[in-house]
Amino acid sequence: MKKIIETSQAPKAVGPYSQAVEAAGTLYVSGQIPLLPDTGVMVEGGIKEQTEQVFRNIKAILTEAGYTFDNVLKTTVLLADMSDFAAMNEVYASVYTGQMPARSTFQVARLPKDALVEIEAIAVKF
């Protein structure tokens, strides 16, 4: 049985999808872009500020579902420009310490609302 996860501490979905879905002890967090939860407006700043906001959004969803970043096994990072990889990676490394999750990173032609970064995550309760 699946459970839909929603929190007001992360932005509402900008399309027909859930913030996250949990099934059989696994949480699938939809791709998060750097929107402010209270306004739905893009955070100001460049890739570093946008990546920080994305992780605040992911943390809020993980917390709502009873998970932490330690439960994350896999992430997918989408960048509008691969030249932002180093700056994104610096923020990423401050969030995940110790045992790192598996990760894929891609440059894409365009992200929703012209965001610079989008990150999705899969977490498992041990």
Q: Which amino acid is at 32?
A: Q
Unique residue bearing structure tokens 């598996």:
102
For domain 2-124, give the fold. 60s Ribosomal Protein L30; Chain: A; (3.30.1330)
For the chain, give every domain's residue range.
Answer: 2-124
Digitized pLDDT (tens) for each residue of the chain, 126 residues in all? 999 999 999 999 989 999 999 999 999 999 999 999 999 999 999 999 999 999 999 999 999 999 999 999 999 999 999 999 999 999 999 999 889 999 999 999 999 999 999 999 999 998
> In sequence order, which ranges of 1-126 are alpha helices (DSSP H)?
47-65, 85-95
Cβ-Cβ contacts under 8 Å for 8 (sequence gap 6 or more): 37
Cα 111 → chain centroid: 13
CA distance 70 to 49: 22
**What's residue 97's pLDDT?**
87
For 15, the token pair is 């399309």
Contact between 30 and 65 under an 8 Å Cβ cutoff? The reply is no
Unique residue bearing structure tokens 């969803």:
61
Contact between 24 and 32 under an 8 Å Cβ cutoff? The reply is no
